[in-house]
């Protein structure tokens, strides 16, 4: 395509105020992008369908945030929602992904690592199409949109009342191992873009907003967010696409702090105790603000069955797990036994994927903040919004102390003692602030810890096979324990 021809002519309208984009006109656009995206998508850390070949893509919506036909070096910016089709033994409905693509005639060398590809046909022919978040000029466009609420094509931008978002903050994309993608603006704000998206309010917007409104200071309060109307009209519920919140500059996450403590043979009990208190505060605020219920015998038995099913599924996918099925199943049978003996559990909204990487502390401060209320990314969104026992989150953090201890180079008894002391201190801190001691219902705690370790086996097998041994160490311990 020459510099003077217009890619928009062959693509789609994007006038402000137009709630829907006519994707029928996006056929040419999709054809031009399918080849490059089919090669690029499966390589992304956030691509959830690893291991199954990508069979096709459907364009659900396309919004032009900056014109893609500008001459010279001016970049264009496209927002796309695409649905994947994957082949495999059980053909799945496919996942919907959010893409932000930059478009330039020529890519400067510093942006080469962000290249998605150069389409060989269609409206973007011979253009460099690239991951826009790595281009500070394009990331800045997104921030400007978030500052000014309103609609653009399928997208709707909102801002919390009274939130201050300065203009012109410098953008830098985070490059770490992430389920989603984040951009830090001016070291004061951070935008998280959800990658695999589904209709329904996202818990990582819903829960921090609820907590902020309840006056809980443990969570950075969302200042702006954006969503899309469901492009094919189905479901009715919007898709949450991204959330901007204050950036806690100069903080370290609990994982880094735990590894430092292990490496320097320093005690972590005081930090773990404070962390237990922080989580108890978060749980208490969630229980006061959002609906709670009591899981009765039938529901707890169903929970135990669901845990059995998850184990069977995971063992189907990860052969290393198979020899431990009977031993692990005893933990779920003990939960069902607890229910039959008259035990019940309070259920409330939870963090859903609590681990040391989700808690932040500024250097020299004792105050823990909690981030990433997305829940376990592999679970369907509706499941992640269901209430559950607080012990589920507690089990997640206990597993995390164990994970950290496994990183200690000489392992051995010192690391095991560190883990035991940290786990105990966390539970004591939690009990002191909430009045509920997680160790008082050992059957429930063990069942949830086992369920989490099974999840981790699947997670590591899919994303970090070289770490599979970490949850497998716990699997062996949990399978051998007597209820």
Ligand X SMILES: O=P(O)(O)O[C@H]1O[C@H](CO)[C@@H](O[C@H]2O[C@H](CO)[C@@H](O)[C@H](O)[C@H]2O)[C@H](O)[C@H]1O
Ligand Y SMILES: Nc1ncnc2c1ncn2[C@@H]1O[C@H](COP(=O)(O)OP(=O)(O)O)[C@@H](O)[C@H]1O
Which residues of the chain form contacts with ligand Y (CB under 6 A)?
A: 174, 178-180, 182, 190, 192, 220, 245, 247-248, 251, 253, 357, 360, 371-372, 374
Yes or no: say if 376 and 455 are a contact pair by the CB < 8 Å rule.
yes
Give the residue with the Cβ less far from ligand X, 129 or 371: 371
Helix, strand, coil tally for the chain in percent (to 5): 45, 20, 35
CB of residue 46 to ligand X, shortest distance in Å: 9
CB of residue 158 to ligand Y, shortest distance in Å: 18
Residue with tokens 């690391």: 415
Burial class (CB in 10 A: 0-12, 13-18, 19+), 101: buried
CB of residue 357 to ligand X, shortest distance in Å: 5
Q: Which of ligand X, ligand Y, none lies near 255, with the C-beta cut-off 5 to 8 A by kind?
A: ligand X
Q: Is 228 helix (H, G, I), strand (E, B) or coil?
A: strand
Yes or no: say if 121 and 92 are a contact pair by the CB < 8 Å rule.
no
Query: CA-CA distances (angstroms) from residue 179 to 29, 459, 463?
Result: 27, 11, 10
If one asks whether residue 400 binds ligand X (CB under 6 A), the answer comes out as yes
Interface residue with ligand X, options 281, 372, 443, 449 (CB under 6 A): 372
Interface residue with ligand X, options 203, 357, 390, 429 (CB under 6 A): 357
CB of residue 88 to ligand X, shortest distance in Å: 22
Give the residue with the Cβ less far from ligand X, 224 or 454: 454
CB of residue 425 to ligand X, shortest distance in Å: 17
Q: 190-216: string of b/e by CB count within 10 Å (b at 16+)?
A: bbbbbbbbbbbbbbbbbbbbbbbeeeb
Q: 221 CB contacts (<8 Å, ≥6 apart)? A: 160, 208, 209, 211, 212, 245, 246
Instruction: For the segment 103-162, give every residue that binds ligand X (CB under 6 A).
Output: none
If one asks whether residue 46 binds ligand X (CB under 6 A), the answer comes out as no
Give the residue with the Cβ less far from ligand Y, 131 or 374: 374
Give the residue with the Cβ less far from ligand X, 320 or 376: 376
CB of residue 302 to ligand X, shortest distance in Å: 23
Instruction: For the segment 402-431, give every residue that binds ligand X (CB under 6 A).
Output: 403
Give the residue with the Cβ less far from ligand Y, 223 or 318: 223
If one asks whether residue 296 binds ligand X (CB under 6 A), the answer comes out as no
Interface residue with ligand X, options 325, 376, 416, 420 (CB under 6 A): 376
If one asks whether residue 399 binds ligand X (CB under 6 A), the answer comes out as yes
Structure tokens at 127: 């253009």
CB of residue 461 to ligand X, shortest distance in Å: 12
Instruction: For the segment 442-471, give every residue that binds ligand X (CB under 6 A).
Output: 456, 459
Give the x/- contact pattern for ligand X in 239-268, rule: CB under 6 A.
----------------x-------------
The H or E element containing residue 27 is: helix 27-40
Burial class (CB in 10 A: 0-12, 13-18, 19+), 237: middle
Which residues are bridge partners to 334 per DSSP?
Answer: none
Q: Which of ligand Y, ligand X, none lies near 301, with the C-beta cut-off 5 to 8 A by kind?
A: none
**Dist. CA 192–CA 182, nearest whole Å:** 4
Interface residue with ligand X, options 11, 86, 179, 369 (CB under 6 A): 179
Yes or no: say if 65 and 152 are a contact pair by the CB < 8 Å rule.
yes
Yes or no: say if 14 and 22 are a contact pair by the CB < 8 Å rule.
no
Q: Which of ligand Y, ligand X, none lies near 190, with the C-beta cut-off 5 to 8 A by kind?
A: ligand Y
CB of residue 458 to ligand Y, shortest distance in Å: 17
- Nearest alpha carbon to residue 210 among 84, 351, 312, 83: 351
The angle formed by the CA atoms of residues 55, 59 and 63, to the nearest 5 degrees, is 150
- Nearest alpha carbon to residue 69 among 60, 78, 58, 80: 78
By the criterion CB under 6 A, which residues form the site for ligand X?
Answer: 177, 179, 255, 353, 355-357, 372, 374, 376-377, 399-400, 403, 456, 459
């Amino acid at each position: 395509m020459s510099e003077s021809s217009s890619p928009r002519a062959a693509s789609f309208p994007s006038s402000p105020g137009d709630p829907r984009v006519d994707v029928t006109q996006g056929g040419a656009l999709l054809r031009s992008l399918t080849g490059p995206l089919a090669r690029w998508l499966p390589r992304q850390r956030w691509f959830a369908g690893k291991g199954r070949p990508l069979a096709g893509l459907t364009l659900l919506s396309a919004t032009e945030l900056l014109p893609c036909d500008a001459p010279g070096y001016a970049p264009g910016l496209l927002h796309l929602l695409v649905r994947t089709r994957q082949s495999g033994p059980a053909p799945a409905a496919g996942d919907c992904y959010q893409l932000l693509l930059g478009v330039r005639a020529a890519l400067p060398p510093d942006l080469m690592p962000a290249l998605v590809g150069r389409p060989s046909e269609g409206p973007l022919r011979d253009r460099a199409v690239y991951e826009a978040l790595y281009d500070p000029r394009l990331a800045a466009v997104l921030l400007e949109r978030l500052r000014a609420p309103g609609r653009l094509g399928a997208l709707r931008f909102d801002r919390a009342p009274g939130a201050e978002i300065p203009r012109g903050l410098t953008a830098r994309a985070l490059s770490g191992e992430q389920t989603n993608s984040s951009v830090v603006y001016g070291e004061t704000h951070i935008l998280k873009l959800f990658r695999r998206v589904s209709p329904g309010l996202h818990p990582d917007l819903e829960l921090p907003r609820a907590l902020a409104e309840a006056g809980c200071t443990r969570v950075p309060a969302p200042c702006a967010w954006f969503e899309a109307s469901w492009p094919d009209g189905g479901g009715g519920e919007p898709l949450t696409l991204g959330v901007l919140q204050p950036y806690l500059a100069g903080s370290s996450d609990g994982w880094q702090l735990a590894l430092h403590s292990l490496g320097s043979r320093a005690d972590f009990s005081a930090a773990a105790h404070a962390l237990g208190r922080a989580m108890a505060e978060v749980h208490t605020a969630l229980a006061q603000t959002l609906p709670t219920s009591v899981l009765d015998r039938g529901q707890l038995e169903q929970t135990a069955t669901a845990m059995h099913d998850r184990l069977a599924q995971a063992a189907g996918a990860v052969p290393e797990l198979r020899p431990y099925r009977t031993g692990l199943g005893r933990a779920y049978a003990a939960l069902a036994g607890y229910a039959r003996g008259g035990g019940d559990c309070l259920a409330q909204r939870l963090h859903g994927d609590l681990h040391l990487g989700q808690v932040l502390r500024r250097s020299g401060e004792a105050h823990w903040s909690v981030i990433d209320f997305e829940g376990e990314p592999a679970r369907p969104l509706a499941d992640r919004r269901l209430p559950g026992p607080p012990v589920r989150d507690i089990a997640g953090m206990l597993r995390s102390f164990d994970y950290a201890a496994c990183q200690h180079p000489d392992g051995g008894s010192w690391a095991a003692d560190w883990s035991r002391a940290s786990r105990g201190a966390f539970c004591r801190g939690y009990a002191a602030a909430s009045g509920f001691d997680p160790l008082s219902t050992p059957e429930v705690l063990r069942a949830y810890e086992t369920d989490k370790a099974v999840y981790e086996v699947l997670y590591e097998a899919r994303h970090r096979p070289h770490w599979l041994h970490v949850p497998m160490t716990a699997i062996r311990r949990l399978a051998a324990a007597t209820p």
